[in-house]
Chain A
Amino acid sequence: MKKAMPLFAACVVALAGCSSMTAPQAWEKSSLAKPEMTMGGDALGERFRQHIYTSKENASGGYGVGGGGCGCN
């Protein structure tokens, strides 16, 4: 785990700054406009999935805020 953190941080910095992958111009975004390329996805489906996984595992978070809680199993 300790070894992974610096590499992960490096990826964050590199990806955030680097445009040797050329940043797309306004008219080159046809692929980015596709629904499967958005980060959101299927609202109801993803909520069900995340709800199930947070019920059966300990980890949670990363996606958004404001969902409230539940006494779920």
Chain B
Amino acid sequence: MKRALQRKKSAPVSAHSKGAVVLAALSLPGVWIAPAHAETAPDNGVIAFKYLHYEDSQPGLQRIKVNSPSLYLMTPIGSQWAVEGSAVVDSLSGATPRWQSSVSSASVMHEERKAADVKVTRYFDRSSYALGVSRSKEHDYASNALSLSGSWSSADNNTTWNLGMGGSSDEIDPTGGGFSGDTHDQKKHTVELIAGVTRALSSVDIVQFNLTYSAGHGYYDDPYKAFDVRPDQRKQGALLARWNHHLLGDQSTLRTSYRFYRDNFGIDAHTLQGEWVKPVTAALAFTPLVRLYSQSAADFYADARVDASGFPVVPALQPGQLNSGDQRLSSFGAVTLGLKTEYKLDAAWTVDLNLEAYEQRSKWHIGGSGSNGVDTFRARFIQLGASRKF
């Protein structure tokens, strides 16, 4: 039976200045795997700019706002080499809760993160190899990563196999020592592996299967959250299946994907996404998108409970006992609706606009009712971009 959560809406957001960035142990998407096409350097280079504006909210709390300009450049060098790189600056501001969805003890902050990456690819007759380096820095978190990947095509170019390996080394130094005040200079090391196959099944169908595995050890707690003690190792696996199907009738394309995820925190997750690229004229195309997501809760996730007065109940913990009230480790489902518009100004320039609306609710968890007492979470973002071929 659900209990109504009463919240002290009148309380101002906490003046705890210790709370700067609220952390989550995140791995960022990295090297994109090449499609099943001929193993030659691209015919042309690309320079692209994109601006992201993101806002999220939960009832009674305006949460995070993010503004991120980013730049991307890819250029072939001769017919056997290509270099690509990108840079981004994330400016975050806003508040996030310290315990469950509790507004009264939220931490306000303003944060900036800068990141850049470079990848060099060498092409051979039926194969290619790439080396990538990336770096991310914000005032309490720094990450350095390296990756190596290889891609091999069959003689008829219809099948491509991919293998990739990456390692990253992160340093976490929470502002003011975090919630406890004494968390300093923590580290985290991660190794990632990917194996995949891409195959052209027909003249209008292409599918891809990727298996990724990541193993890391180090500091995974969220230092700004109360009562947050997580395992010191993390193993994650994901299986992704994608299918692109072209419809000759109207020259539109259906892109679908399903991903199964499992990790050692006890979380299983399913992601299903479908989009339809629909050209309207030779220059204009619309792509509506639907994404469905569901995850189970972490083994050590602490359910939100309130006492008779409506105040959150915090758990009594043994020393070293795993625990977290982080909403992101609870059981929930989420739905995204998106629309992208792309317009070709001429043979070289394209501009695009992408809008997505996201909502996360515990009761949307498939096969179950999800975690109790977690507020609905909403996010919206808009991306505005331009790119030029050269």
Interface string of A47-66 (1 = CB under 8 A from B): 11111111111111111111
Chain A proximity of B274: nearest CB distance (Å): 14
Interface size class of B (residues with CB under 8 A): 35 or more
Q: How far is A48 from B88 in the complex, measured between Cα atoms in Å? A: 10
- B253 A8 Cβ-Cβ under 8 A: no
Answer whether A56 and B35 are a contact pair too, CB < 8 Å, given A8-B260, A44-B86, A47-B86: no
Contacts of A63 in B (CB 8 A): 29-30, 32-33, 210, 212, 240
Contacts of A30 in B (CB 8 A): 203
Contacts of B50 in A (CB 8 A): 44-45, 48
B375 at the interface (CB under 8 A from A): no
Answer whether A60 and B32 are a contact pair too, CB < 8 Å, given A44-B48, A69-B27, A73-B92: no
Answer whether A56 and B56 are a contact pair too, CB < 8 Å, given A63-B210, A73-B64: yes
Contact with A45, one of B135, B156, B240, B385 (Cβ below 8 angstroms) = B385
B72 at the interface (CB under 8 A from A): yes
- B269 A57 Cβ-Cβ under 8 A: yes
Q: How far is A47 from B170 in the complex, measured between Cα atoms in Å? A: 20
B343 at the interface (CB under 8 A from A): no
- A55 B26 Cβ-Cβ under 8 A: yes
- Listed stretches B1-9, B303-311, B314-322, B352-360; interface member: B352-360
Nearest chain-A residue to B164 (Cβ)?
A: A65
Answer whether A50 and B21 are a contact pair too, CB < 8 Å, given A19-B201, A73-B92: no
Interface string of A5-36 (1 = CB under 8 A from B): 00010011001101101111110111111101
Q: Which chain B residues numbered 145 to 174 have a C-beta less than 8 Å away from chain A?
A: 145-147, 149, 156-158, 164-166, 168, 170, 172
B302 at the interface (CB under 8 A from A): no
- Pair count A-B, CB < 8 A: 281
- B147 A66 Cβ-Cβ under 8 A: yes
Answer whether A50 and B29 are a contact pair too, CB < 8 Å, given A45-B383, A64-B194: yes
Interface string of B375-388 (1 = CB under 8 A from A): 00101010101000
- B115 A68 Cβ-Cβ under 8 A: yes
- A65 B24 Cβ-Cβ under 8 A: no
Contacts of B205 in A (CB 8 A): 21
Q: Which chain B residues numbered 247 to 263 have a C-beta less than 8 Å away from chain A?
A: 248, 253, 255, 259-261, 263
Given pairs A16-B197, A47-B70, A70-B136, 8 additional interface contacts (CB within 8 A): A23-B201, A36-B277, A51-B29, A56-B358, A58-B295, A64-B30, A73-B21, A73-B92
A-B contact pairs, 25 of them (CB 8 A): A23-B202, A28-B203, A29-B203, A39-B206, A42-B352, A44-B385, A48-B70, A48-B381, A50-B28, A56-B328, A56-B379, A59-B293, A61-B240, A62-B259, A63-B32, A63-B210, A65-B149, A66-B119, A66-B134, A67-B145, A68-B115, A68-B143, A69-B168, A69-B170, A72-B21
Residues of B in contact with A (beta carbons under 8 Å apart) = 21-37, 48-50, 52, 54, 56, 64, 68, 70, 72, 74, 84, 86, 88, 90, 92, 96, 113, 115, 117, 119, 132, 134-136, 138, 140-141, 143-147, 149, 156-158, 164-166, 168, 170, 172, 188, 190, 192-194, 197-210, 212, 214, 236-242, 244, 246, 248, 253, 255, 259-261, 263, 265, 267-269, 271, 277, 285, 293, 295, 298, 328-329, 334, 340, 352, 354, 356, 358, 360, 377, 379, 381, 383, 385
